[in-house]
A and B are shown apart, each in its own frame.
Chain A
Amino acid sequence: MSDSHPRPRGRLPPEVKISGKIDRTKPQKFRFDGRDYQGFAGDTLASALLAAGVRLVGRSFKYHRPRGILSAGSEEPNALVTLRPQDAHLGRREPNCRATVTELYDGLIAESQNRFPSLRLDFLAVNGWLGRFLTAGFYYKTFMWPASFWEKLYEPMIRRAAGLGRAAQVGDPDDYDKTTRHCDILIIGGGAAGLMAARAAAPSGARIMLVDEDFQLGGSLLAASPTIEGLIDGLEAGAWIAKIESELAGFPEVTILRRSTVFGAYDGGTFGVLERGEDHLPTPPPFTPRQRLWRIVAGRAILASGAIERPLLFGNNDRPGVMLAGAMREYLNRFGVAVGAKILVVGNNDSGVYTALDLAEKGMKIAALVDMRPQLPPLLHQKLKEWGIRVELNARLLDVTGGKSVRAARIATASGDSVKIACDSVAMAGGWSPNVQLTTHLGDKTVWDKTQAAFVAKLSQDGRLASDKLNMAVIGAAKANISLTETLRDAAKQGIESAQALGFKLNHPIQAAMISGGLAMNPSATAEIEKNFLPNGREKGKIFVDYQNDVTSHDIDLAVKEGMVSPEHVKRYTTMGMATDQGKTSAVNGAMLIAAAQGIDVAALGTPAPRPPYTPVALAALAGGQRGKHFKPTRLTPSHAWAVEQNAVLVEAGLWLRGQYFPREGENDWLTTVNREVLTVRHQVGVCDVSTLGKIEVQGRDAAEFLERIYINGWKNLPVGRARYGVMLREDGIVLDDGTAARLGEDQFFVTTTTANAARVMQHMEFCHQVLWPQLDVHMISVTEQWAQYAVAGRHARAVLRPLVDAAYDLADDAFPYMAAAAVTVMGGIEARLYRLSFSGEMAYEIGVPARYGDDFFRQIMAAGAAYGICAYGTEALSVMRIEKGHPAGGELNGICTAGDLGLARMMSSKKDYIGRVMATRPGLMAENRPNLVGLLPLSPGQRLKAGAHLVAQGKTMIAEHDEGYITSVAFSPNLGHWIGLGYVNNGRNRQGEAIAAVDYMRGETYPVEITSPVFFDPDGARLRGNYD
């Protein structure tokens, strides 16, 4: 009956009746490894390759063994290909894609990986012969001698050989999107169970999301046939799926996501879902994201993710042609592909029998059914006889022969004799492992189920996870190896109960769908799997456990022998379960081998928890739209528009864009412009936008007391109308920030911070107030964004501001001296604030106006200053001048300096406690030889200094023990005519005048510098007070 016209490998003719989801009216051309083929709409790349007779699709990770397609789903460990290699220059080449889940489209181009020069002839297959030296943990035992060879030869060699596909070298050009969705019930998996649960819950009106990773719904029903699985409510599986789909479409609160993988379970009922919306198109349509990342927050989840079939352990169980039995049925029934011409079916449960019968019914030749059990259910045995299939009971498969394709199999019969059977394919029915990886993501452990020989989720009576972290029910094959009838009943029940538990009503709950006919009425028993499971020692060839990482049973034995007892250690030592499939097809086999090697029970051992993501997620998807300039917001200063009009060169200062320098006609390099800006400020006047510095209003009866507790210096005695420089420490005694604060009223202070620390200081103040001293009557608020603030500096500063500040305010030197501060009005009544502060060292003011007037007011200043030759100056010129004056800034406030290091020890009050005071007295922070802030001069006049160079005593070698400090900031001083720098030198204040070597390994320079005072210009501060002579 079965031998008459055995089918060749490839696509079945259309006459053969299959439930089939391919559309033969829509051919799709594709290319693999340079050869052209054709498939149909509805194919995956894997099914189309198998239809074309292509079995060799890759080379394994370590041994470079020829590999074929093992499965029909996302658990695929072998068929990893590179997609869109032709678009590598566009950044669309994608490595390590599973051909089994790659939807075929017209024009698809794919390449195999990890082989040179070709898939058929791979030079690195020599690794297979070196197998003895490449066992688990080989890199701990080899490549050790000579030591120098490691860095020069071994490591680069191993690095080049490692990995599978090659990453793109160009940025991803496509758009990605992220979104958050709340729902009542999240159903994970759109197979029989998921569809039934959704259909049962839908009429309640609950918001339901049904998510499936495939582009077709149906799960394992897509592999079903009426003879085996029967009819569902009188319909073939395909028709029932379509019916439920169309019914679900009628419920507005039901959302179905196809091509979407629930990749992770997170706290608070949150799930990560990757929707690969446009990957099946050659190029995403414009304005469409290629993929979308969903953050779904669900009231309750229902896990209907099915089960994954286990491979069997025999010699060379990785040869092309060896495939999971259920996958063979899926290629047959869903895609109409005969994966082999003569198939040996081997199994330890009824799935093997179903496979043999199903294939035989479609005309495929079955070499034999090798069943490890002593007997079969009578009905099934009867059917096998009817088809004339050779059955070997109490038998096992020892090994297969064939290099790039299976040629024959060697079995051990019930009597123990070894028999060779010619075949070109092997279907493995090793039993089903419930796919419960999501349940372990939050730390819950699975438990061993002896009858199923699988790790299952721990459930309570009502089918829900016994977990305090995850509100999830488990149904269908994900729960246990139950019949389809029971699955549908359980799914309907859970769907209804979930809706009702969330408060939704179901007046006429529907009945579960009914199965009629079929052979698979009862769950297939997998009795005594453990007994039959292990290799018996007669196998020839490598027995693979983890295909993707090339881990064999020998590796596991070796690991246990070398003392790796815990599965966690075996995992990391052998890398079993660590690949992108996270042990989907290796966990159980591996666990049983580990247990057997130690002579203990698998249940006691457990298995390492798989980690999210369930399948790989592109980084671009995690970023979504937050890329490039959209990663964070850009903050613009009030004078930004004016700066852009001037073609200013802008610089990123954190999130801010600031004017770095303002080049004019004829200025060809930045140094020319910056020198001009500095000289203009020092000889005439300049204006700089300093709005980015943090500004905080601190108000209340206890405002001064509050500042006393935060700063090292005092505030209570600061008169109203004056500003003061302050330094604040962290509680560990290290400087946190510095800035000026102005007292605008008895109970009102205006505090400024550095640009970089604005948010940190604000948070620090709020912490101190709310957590440490909630009893203080003080309030604070950030007003950084609210005030435009400009520094007007130079001998003409007062003259420039005079016409802008309303006449009622006396700006004469005695009325508004250095460090005065007051609320004023400008431009005829606009509220403003004026501070006589100077960062540049010139006579200077900072003037603040409400930010909405910022643009106009800046232009007013420029206009008022025209007669005095005013220029705008940017961050570069600002930096030159503050370095000339020895003012510490970002480079000096390095997170490890104390107030003493900055030369500000005298500011530390002894009359009060403040944050950091006690810890600043730690001996290490008060040591004599601590780094002090000093000035540095080049010893040869033209020598350019560069920040970052480290300082070492002349003549000493630059090693850590001799390191005496480093250069923190440098500038070319046009006022002095040479480069200057600030830096830290151990005990620097007592080494003035000493020459020291600056060693710069990064730029390959060494030059001598002289230690000097950090104040290079106007050390008496005459200019600050307006004394220009």
Chain B
Amino acid sequence: MRIKCPHCGERSLDEFSYYGDATLRRPEVNDQDANLLAKFTDYVYLRDNPAGQHQELWQHQFGCRAWLVVTRDTNSHLMTEVTAAAQKGEAA
């Protein structure tokens, strides 16, 4: 199985390590927010487990060390899109 790293091209899965859900956003820290702790608890512990398209973080650990956002189907394991997380973040 291979992942197409945007910097390094198609590389064996062995070179990557899986992290988890890429759609999570670290809550904005506003100490006036009474729900801040609840938001952080969800951020740290709650996860969806979709059957189907999933955006997730992988790191090209034994290559360029880039963190990548991968779109993968959790049923067929087919990966359709790979972008560098840093690029995605800057665009956001």
Contact = CB atoms under 8 A, between A and B. Distances in A.
A961 B1 CA distance: 49
Contact of A443 (B36, B43, B75): B75
A918 B90 contact: no
A595 to B, nearest CB: 27
Interface residues of A, number: 26
Given A775-B89, A918-B29, A266 B75 contact: no
A921 B87 CA distance: 33
Contacts of B5: none
A268 B2 contact: yes
Contact of A268 (B1, B19, B27, B29): B1
B33 to A, nearest CB: 10
A270 B77 contact: no
Interface string A512-528: 00000000000000000
Contacts of A773: 89
Contacts of A268: 1-2, 13, 77
Interface in A632-665: none
B37 A918 contact: yes
Given A775-B89, A913-B29, A919 B40 contact: yes
A763 interface: yes
B41 A919 contact: yes
A695 to B, nearest CB: 16
Interface in B30-54: 36-37, 40-41, 43-45
Interface stretch (A8-16, A68-76, A764-772, A810-818): A764-772
Nearest to B19: A767
Contact of A772 (B1, B26, B44, B84): B26
Nearest to A781: B65
A270 B85 contact: no
Interface in A891-923: 913, 917-919, 921-922
A653 to B, nearest CB: 21
B62 to A, nearest CB: 11
A913 B76 CA distance: 40
Contact of B76 (A469, A769, A772): A469
B8 to A, nearest CB: 15
Contact of B85 (A442, A732, A770, A775): A770
A827 B26 CA distance: 49
A278 interface: no
B76 A270 contact: no
Given A763-B59, A919-B41, A922-B37, A770 B89 contact: yes
A417 interface: no
Contacts of B37: 918-919, 921-922
Contacts of B27: 918
A931 to B, nearest CB: 22
B1 A266 contact: yes
A774 B26 CA distance: 13
Contacts of A913: 29
| Majority DSSP secondary structure for residues of A touching B | loop
Interface in A252-267: 266-267
A774 B76 contact: no
A767 B67 contact: yes
A774 B61 contact: no
Given A732-B44, A767-B19, A267 B77 contact: yes
A919 B65 CA distance: 28
B89 A771 contact: yes
A469 B85 contact: no
A775 B1 contact: no
Interface string B50-79: 000000010101000111000000011110
A771 B85 contact: yes
A468 interface: yes
Nearest to B57: A771
A766 B2 CA distance: 22
Nearest to B66: A770
A770 B84 contact: yes
A266 B29 CA distance: 43
B90 A763 contact: no
Contacts of B75: 443
Contact of A774 (B17, B59, B90): B90
A771 B19 CA distance: 12
A918 B39 CA distance: 10
A731 interface: yes
Given A267-B77, A732-B44, A919-B40, A771 B67 contact: yes
Given A268-B1, A918-B29, A774 B19 contact: no
A267 B1 contact: yes
Contacts of B43: 731
A919 B19 CA distance: 20
Nearest to A912: B29
Interface in A431-486: 442-443, 468-469
B50 to A, nearest CB: 16
Contacts of B76: 468-469
B44 A270 contact: no
Contacts of B40: 731, 918-919
B77 A770 contact: no
B61 A270 contact: no
Contacts of B65: 766
Nearest to A268: B1
A732 B44 CA distance: 6
A732 B43 CA distance: 10
Interface string A135-171: 0000000000000000000000000000000000000
A565 to B, nearest CB: 24
A266 B13 CA distance: 12
Contacts of B78: 468-469
Contacts of A732: 44-45
Contacts of A766: 59, 65, 67
Contacts of A763: 17, 59, 61
A890 B23 CA distance: 33
A268 B85 CA distance: 24
Contacts of A774: 85-87, 89-90
A771 B17 CA distance: 15
A769 B78 CA distance: 28
A267 B84 CA distance: 23
Contacts of B29: 913, 917-918
Contacts of A917: 29
A469 B87 CA distance: 30
A771 B70 CA distance: 13
A268 B2 CA distance: 7
Nearest to B40: A918
A763 B90 CA distance: 20
A631 to B, nearest CB: 16
A919 B36 CA distance: 9
Contacts of A769: 86
Contacts of B17: 763
Given A766-B67, A913-B29, A918 B89 contact: no
A961 to B, nearest CB: 26
Contacts of B22: 771
Nearest to B28: A913
A469 to B, nearest CB: 5
A968 to B, nearest CB: 26
Contacts of B2: 268
A919 B59 contact: no
A468 B2 CA distance: 16
B92 to A, nearest CB: 9
Interface string A772-815: 11110000000000000000000000000000000000000000
Contacts of A775: 89-90
Given A763-B59, A774-B87, 5 more contacts: A731-B44, A732-B44, A770-B89, A772-B26, A919-B41
24 contacts: A267-B1, A443-B75, A468-B78, A469-B77, A731-B44, A732-B44, A763-B17, A763-B59, A766-B59, A767-B67, A770-B84, A770-B85, A770-B89, A771-B67, A771-B85, A774-B89, A913-B29, A918-B27, A918-B36, A918-B40, A919-B40, A919-B44, A921-B37, A922-B37
Closest 4 CB pairs of A and B: A268-B1, A774-B89, A774-B86, A770-B67
